[in-house]
Amino acid sequence: MGAETETDTQEKNAQERPRPSSPTPLTPDQFLSWKRQKDAAEAATKAEASRKRAEDIAAGTVPMNGRELFLHEPWVFDNSQY
């Protein structure tokens, strides 16, 4: 009867918090700068992952897929022996 439900509590909290009138405008230059940084970070992450994968393949700790096998051991695909 007098107990508040969870949705009532959430509605009260939502009404008490001030909401921003509008987000901070972002200029095209700011967006391009952010995008370049994000792309550079993503490229660095991919380069690090591929470098680590190449080291693991050279050490023999991970199995190779077909393309990697062809690049590292092309003699496996030489059919001139038959």
pLDDT of residue 31: 94
The CA distance from 60 to 10, in Å, is 56
Three-state DSSP class for residue 13: helix
- What mean pLDDT comes out for the span 21-50? 93
Instruction: Identify whether 11 is part of a domain.
Output: no
Number of domains in the chain: 1
- What mean pLDDT comes out for the span 55-66? 91
Q: Could you tell me if residue 17 is left (phi over 0), alpha (psi between -120 and 50 degrees) or otherwise beta?
A: beta
Give the pair of three-digit tokens for residue 33.
Answer: 């700068």
Helices (H), 6-27: 6-16
Tell me which residue has tokens 């009867």.
1
Instruction: Identify whether 23 is part of a domain.
Output: no
Does the pLDDT at position 32 exceed 90? Answer: yes
pLDDT class of 24 with cuts at 50, 70, 90: confident
Instruction: Identify whether 45 is part of a domain.
Output: no
| DSSP element (H, E) containing 38 | helix 28-59
Please report, as a single letter, which amino acid is at residue 68. Answer: E
Instruction: Identify whether 64 is part of a domain.
Output: yes
